[in-house]
Amino acid sequence: MQQAPVFEETYQRYLVKLREIDIFARAELLGIGREEGLLRVPLYGREYHVSYDGITDPTGAEATPAVRVVLCRYLLTCPDELPPLSERLVTYREFKDAGPLVSYFTTNTNKIIETTFTGQIPLLLQRAGVLGGKRLVSDTHDLSLRFVALPRIPVLLNFNDRDDLFAASASVLYRASAEVFLDMESLAITGTLLAGRLIRP
């Protein structure tokens, strides 16, 4: 996984590539808003403005390096025409190119959620609401939540609290079609962003 200085270099390289494509033509494909000179892209409920000049929040402040890279990849990876999109749910591990990042994802997403919210289901539910998470009915999990990382990339979080026999467990699921819109590193970042925003809203 890239470190902050590398993120900045990558971001600058991606900005050059963004200027070579019509980002506004992708707004409808991705289901994102557009206005004069910029796209309005929600990431876990926070809106970011994307233009050929860069990526900011609505106040004009620069987005974090990781967010900038993810949003650039989101626009650059989007195909000119959408293929049939699978709604099958998969873990990060099941994506064919995820192998090198599976350990990173598990450590920085699942395990952080497990350790932070053990015995804290009401807090997890409250924090999820801040991010636009919706509670789903589940017969198999203590808490099942649906988030929208980015338009066309929903994320499902299933959480079982500890009991007398087992420690708390968390699993994060994506639609199989998520790989149409993001590379594996950027998809992993959507997991770590979810965990980070749940523990520090």
pLDDT of residue 58: 85
Taking the C-alpha atoms of residue 92 and residue 89, their distance in angstroms, rounded to an integer, is 10
Residue 82 lies in a domain: no
- Same-domain pairing of 96 and 162: yes
**Amino acid symbol at 33:** G
Residue range of the domain that includes 64: 4-77
pLDDT of residue 139: 95
CB atoms within 10 A of CB 165: 5
Residue 173 lies in a domain: yes
**Amino acid symbol at 44:** Y
For residue range 64-112, list pLDDT tens digits in order.
Answer: 999 999 999 999 999 989 999 999 999 999 999 999 999 999 999 999 9
Q: Final residue of a domain: which of 77, 99, 122?
A: 77
Residue 185 lies in a domain: yes
pLDDT of residue 109: 97
For residue range 10-40, list pLDDT tens digits in order.
Answer: 899 999 999 999 999 999 999 999 998 999 9
- Same-domain pairing of 32 and 118: no
**pTM (2 d.p.):** 0.92
Residue 38, Ramachandran bin (φ over 0: left; ψ between -120 and 50: alpha; else beta):
beta
pLDDT of residue 152: 96
- Same-domain pairing of 73 and 101: no
Average pLDDT, the chain: 94
Mean per-residue pLDDT, 120-139: 97
- Tell whether the torsion through CA atoms of 23, 133, 126 and 112 is positive or negative: negative
Residue 84 lies in a domain: no
- Same-domain pairing of 122 and 45: no
Q: Final residue of a domain: which of 20, 45, 77?
A: 77
pLDDT band at residue 6, thresholds of 50, 70 and 90?
confident
pLDDT of residue 4: 61
Count up the domains in the chain and report the number.
Answer: 2
DSSP state of 183: -
pLDDT of residue 164: 87
Residue 39 lies in a domain: yes
Provide the pairing of β-strand 89-91 with 169-175: antiparallel
Q: Final residue of a domain: which of 47, 77, 107?
A: 77
- Same-domain pairing of 63 and 160: no
Report how far apart, in Å, the C-alpha atoms of 191 and of each of 95, 122, 134 are: 14, 21, 17
